[in-house]
Amino acid sequence: MDLLLQYIGLGVSSVFYGAQGVLQLMPVLMVLIGVLVGILIGAVPGMSGPFAMAIALPILVSIFGYGNDALYPVLGCLLGIMKGATVGGAVPAILFKTPGTPDAFLTTLDGYPMARKGQGRKAIQTAHFASVMGDNFSDIVLFIAAPTIAVAVERILGLPEKSALIILSLCFMAAVVGKAPLKGLLGGLLGMFVSLIGSTMSGNGPRLTFGLPELGNGLPLTSAVLGVLVISEVLMSIEEMHAAPSSEDTTREAPEMGPPLSWAERARMLPGILRAAAIGTAIGALPGIGTTTAATLSYDTAKRRSATPEAFGRGTPEGVVATEAANSAVSGANLIPVMSLGIPGNFAAVFIILAVETIGDFSFGPQVFQFTPIKEIEGFGTILNANLVLAFGIFTMMVVANFFNWTLGGLLMGFLGHLVRIPKAVILPVIMTVSLTAAYVQDGGYLGLLTAGVFAMIGYGLRRLEISILPFVIGFLLAPTLEGLVRGAFTASGGDAFFLLKSPIAIAMLLMSLLLLARMFRQSR
């Protein structure tokens, strides 16, 4: 227990004090900037948190560089964006019935009628309160669950079980994401296939590189993800603009704002918030199921449990609470599989992992939560698990971001009603330029550009075929880990052909994967 407290203390102070014990404000400042950017971006329809994170990551890396010193400011900003965006998305949903982020769509159901009834201020404050409470709730679950799961996994799971776990998560993700599970599965397999390019860990040199030595360590990650995720989306939007050029709405007047939310009303919301947050957290902890599912499920539950179900859809704060608390709770919970197992479940998590992998020698996984005794060694310094300190530092920055969300978020949301919609004709070229520059600068010049271009085409193709991008990206990111584990499990077993089927846990997980696959095939008939 002492050791745990010591590590938490070190983690907290590592955010505020630099290596030499001097006060540093940069991480906190970057969290603040992240939250502000996140709220603003969240409020702009067509932009979402992960989108902003994708563009921010290369810019941040070029500002702060590599190494563990850069980790806090970069991660702080990304976490800030992630959290800010969950709050900001509700404002245009309430005032103009145009959700700023996809997950705020359900907020329009009750938020917009409230605004029409002259309760705009109340609706926005309800959304803010529910959203931040939901987020904080899931963070607390994260802080407790991630270390616990990691320690348990490290004790119980060996190489075959860890391999089986990743196979199961990939199958699960393919099964739940999008409308057609088989398409998700194909997308995931395609992602895994392109990640085969490069290093093999076999010592026999790189594979599938077409003889290009530059591809020896695989495709440049950031360029690939920017291409498949951001640039392909830009291409789709340009196409949509071309098809319907006059669809841009003119700015609408913000309606009458009405009275603020009272503390008594806030107190009455708490049970609803707790229920919605619990649903959001549970959904968020599973890979692949997004914020929208969480919000829908929570909204339906709230409606069923309500004494006045007929009020839903006509402007009841309960509806806003149910969606906002649930969709915000997803963001913290999504980091549970990331921090304890290294498995990303949504796009925000993908960028957190990407940031960590590009910048320092820190990587997520169960080994992070190893409670090494802290010892002072003469002539060398202190011995401790630096990764664990970093993990608690990351938690600290999340708490700081929550603080900013509580205070500045509430203030800022009041002003967002006046935010003029930025026309797509302006925003798309900016995004395109920034992404291509980022690919060029960060990933080795033309190789980065080419990768981004090819992946943009892949992303465009997937979107046109209505295949969800998420399994592709996560398959792409997880395949090397899976290959390492499977290879390791095989050689460590001494070349046993049934190496994956040696333990009941692994067999159970593989059977579940098979069931999911069978279900996918049955559904597709």
Residues in contact with other proteins by CB under 8 A are 66-68, 154, 158-159, 198-199, 201-206, 213-214, 216-218, 358-362, 365-367, 370, 372-373, 375, 377, 380, 383-384, 444, 484, 487-488, 491-495
Residue nearer to other proteins on the CB measure, 21 or 203: 203
Residue nearer to other proteins on the CB measure, 71 or 177: 71
Q: List, in order, residues 6 or more apart from 508 with CB less than 8 Å away.
A: none
Q: What is the closest distance, in whole angstroms, from the C-beta atom of residue 358 to other proteins in the complex?
A: 7
- Euclidean distance between CA atoms 401 and 102, whole angstroms: 22
Residue nearer to other proteins on the CB measure, 492 or 518: 492
Q: What is the closest distance, in whole angstroms, from the C-beta atom of residue 77 to other proteins in the complex?
A: 18
Other beta carbons within 10 Å of 464:
12
Decide if 424 contacts 46 (C-beta within 8 A): yes
The pair of structure tokens assigned to 2 is 């002492």
**If we measure between CA atoms, which residue out of 166, 302, 268, 231 comes closest to residue 448?**
231
Q: What is the closest distance, in whole angstroms, from the C-beta atom of residue 521 to other proteins in the complex?
A: 34
- Euclidean distance between CA atoms 426 and 135, whole angstroms: 32
Range 127-143 burial, b when 16+ CB lie within 10 A, else e: bbbbbbbbbbbbbebbb
Q: What is the closest distance, in whole angstroms, from the C-beta atom of residue 11 to other proteins in the complex?
A: 17
Residue nearer to other proteins on the CB measure, 156 or 270: 156
Q: What is the closest distance, in whole angstroms, from the C-beta atom of residue 447 to other proteins in the complex?
A: 11
Q: What is the closest distance, in whole angstroms, from the C-beta atom of residue 154 to other proteins in the complex?
A: 5
- Euclidean distance between CA atoms 389 and 340, whole angstroms: 15
The pair of structure tokens assigned to 66 is 């590599």
Amino acid sitting at position 339: M
CA 16 to chain centre: 25
Q: What is the closest distance, in whole angstroms, from the C-beta atom of residue 393 to other proteins in the complex?
A: 15
- Euclidean distance between CA atoms 26 and 366, whole angstroms: 28
Residue nearer to other proteins on the CB measure, 68 or 237: 68
Q: What is the closest distance, in whole angstroms, from the C-beta atom of residue 127 to other proteins in the complex?
A: 40
Q: List, in order, residues 6 or more apart from 284 with CB less than 8 Å away.
A: 138, 291, 294, 329, 330, 331, 332, 333, 334, 336, 345
* Phi, psi (deg, nearest 5) at residue 517: -60, -45
Q: What is the closest distance, in whole angstroms, from the C-beta atom of residue 384 to other proteins in the complex?
A: 8
Q: What is the closest distance, in whole angstroms, from the C-beta atom of residue 13 to other proteins in the complex?
A: 20
Other beta carbons within 10 Å of 275:
18
**Containing H/E element for 446?**
helix 446-464
Q: What is the closest distance, in whole angstroms, from the C-beta atom of residue 444 to other proteins in the complex?
A: 8
Residue nearer to other proteins on the CB measure, 155 or 522: 155
Q: How do beta strands 381-383 and 375-377 pair? A: antiparallel
Q: What is the closest distance, in whole angstroms, from the C-beta atom of residue 344 to other proteins in the complex?
A: 19
Residue nearer to other proteins on the CB measure, 29 or 208: 208
Residue nearer to other proteins on the CB measure, 204 or 247: 204
The pair of structure tokens assigned to 525 is 């008939």
Residue nearer to other proteins on the CB measure, 157 or 282: 157
**Containing H/E element for 198?**
none
CA 297 to chain centre: 20
Tell which phi-psi region holds residue 301, choosing left (phi > 0), alpha (psi between -120 and 50) or beta: alpha
Measured CA angle at 276 (ends 272, 277), to 5 deg: 115
Residue nearer to other proteins on the CB measure, 362 or 403: 362
**Containing H/E element for 382?**
strand 381-383
Q: What is the closest distance, in whole angstroms, from the C-beta atom of residue 159 to other proteins in the complex?
A: 5
| DSSP code of residue 421 | P
**If we measure between CA atoms, which residue out of 259, 321, 323, 256 comes closest to residue 122?**
259
Residue nearer to other proteins on the CB measure, 28 or 368: 368
Residue nearer to other proteins on the CB measure, 373 or 504: 373
- Euclidean distance between CA atoms 448 and 219, whole angstroms: 8
Residue nearer to other proteins on the CB measure, 21 or 373: 373
